[in-house]
């Protein structure tokens, strides 16, 4: 019997190394595949789009906020992996009645490293998990340190206008990339057009996810904040806290070059 405690201080007991895993979080799904668990991950959400070939062939158990409990039961998982923010508490609590459910809670890079380390241990993939963590750390160590003077407003939704505030992993990534988040409110505040103008950001980042912002949206935000530079950014590289972080530092270097020169 092996006992593990998740980030929410919930304890699970496993008789053996998990062989039938359901993953409820896209970034963690990708990490599980990257550490070699293609055969063990039997169920994912419809939003677990990476790797794409794996997404196409793997059973979907619904969305991150709405689980299909019958599908999960059919898969008979010996481990379910979730996240405090991305999943919904009621659904997780219902699953905990019948299954071993391990949840992460990610706000900082250190939290992300700890999640990857923990999942590597639980699945007996410590070595490759450690290699991925080391690669991410090395990439961020090579990122240029700048003065965090560029004031940024990071949008995740359009109607209503919703932005990433303090206490979020996106805020952590903005800081790591060298930008100053102008939102002092916690989590994901909803703003009015007037509040957006008052914040007077130097840059407006329109995230490619969860709302699919694209170049066609730039003009409308430029009208809201004429003094701001408006650009679409890769939301996955700001908000996915698994192995996709291997690509974030290089992307942040490109943004730094555009903004700081």
Beta-carbon neighbour count of residue 259 at 10 Å? 18
**Superfamily of domain 150-260 in the CATH hierarchy:** Nitrogenase molybdenum iron protein domain (3.40.50.1980)
Q: Which residues contact 128 (CB under 8 A, 6 or more apart)?
A: 34, 35, 36, 120
At residue 64, the pLDDT reads 98
| CATH class of residue range 2-139 | alpha beta
Q: Region of 107 please: left (phi>0), alpha (psi -120 to 50) or beta.
A: alpha
Query: Which residue, among 111, 54, 94, 55, has the nearest Cα to 242 in the 3D structure?
Result: 111
Domain 2-139 shares a fold with domain 150-260:
yes
Q: What is the pLDDT of residue 117?
A: 98
Query: Along the 261 residues of the chain, how does pLDDT read in single tens digits?
Result: 899 999 999 999 999 999 999 999 999 999 999 999 999 999 999 999 999 999 999 999 999 999 999 999 999 999 999 999 999 999 999 999 999 999 999 999 999 999 999 999 999 999 999 999 999 999 999 998 887 889 999 999 999 999 999 999 999 999 999 999 999 988 999 999 999 999 999 999 999 999 999 999 999 999 999 999 999 999 999 999 999 999 999 999 999 999 998
Q: Which two tokens stand for residue 125?
A: 């993939």
Domain ranges of the chain: 2-139, 150-260
pLDDT at 112: 98
User: Which pLDDT value is given to residue 8?
Assistant: 97
Residue 186: the pLDDT is: 85
**113 within 8 A of 133, measured Cβ to Cβ:** yes
């Amino acid at each position: 019997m092996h006992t593990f405690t998740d980030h929410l201080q919930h304890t699970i007991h496993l008789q053996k190394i998990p062989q039938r895993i359901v993953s409820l979080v896209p970034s963690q799904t990708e990490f599980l595949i990257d550490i070699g668990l293609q055969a063990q991950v039997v169920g994912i959400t419809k939003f677990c789009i990476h790797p794409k070939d794996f997404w196409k062939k793997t059973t979907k158990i619904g969305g991150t906020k709405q689980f299909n409990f019958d599908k999960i039961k059919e898969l008979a998982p010996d481990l379910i992996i979730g996240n405090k923010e991305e999943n919904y508490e009621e659904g997780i609590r219902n699953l905990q009645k019948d299954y071993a459910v391990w949840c992460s809670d990610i706000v900082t890079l250190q939290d992300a490293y700890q999640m990857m380390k923990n999942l590597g241990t639980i699945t007996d993939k410590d070595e490759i998990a450690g290699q991925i963590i080391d690669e991410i750390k090395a990439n961020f160590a090579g990122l240029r340190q700048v003065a965090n003077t560029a004031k940024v407003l990071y949008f995740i939704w359009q109607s209503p206008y919703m932005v990433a505030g303090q206490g979020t992993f996106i805020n952590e990534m903005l800081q790591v990339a060298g930008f100053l988040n102008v939102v002092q409110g916690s989590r994901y505040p909803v703003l009015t057009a007037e509040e957006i103008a008052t914040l007077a950001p130097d840059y407006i980042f329109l995230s490619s996810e969860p709302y699919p912002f694209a170049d066609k949206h730039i003009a409308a935000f430029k009208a809201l904040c004429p003094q701001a530079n408006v650009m679409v950014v890769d939301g996955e590289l700001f908000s996915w806290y698994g192995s996709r972080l291997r690509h974030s530092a290089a992307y942040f270097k490109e943004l730094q070059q555009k903004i700081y020169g």
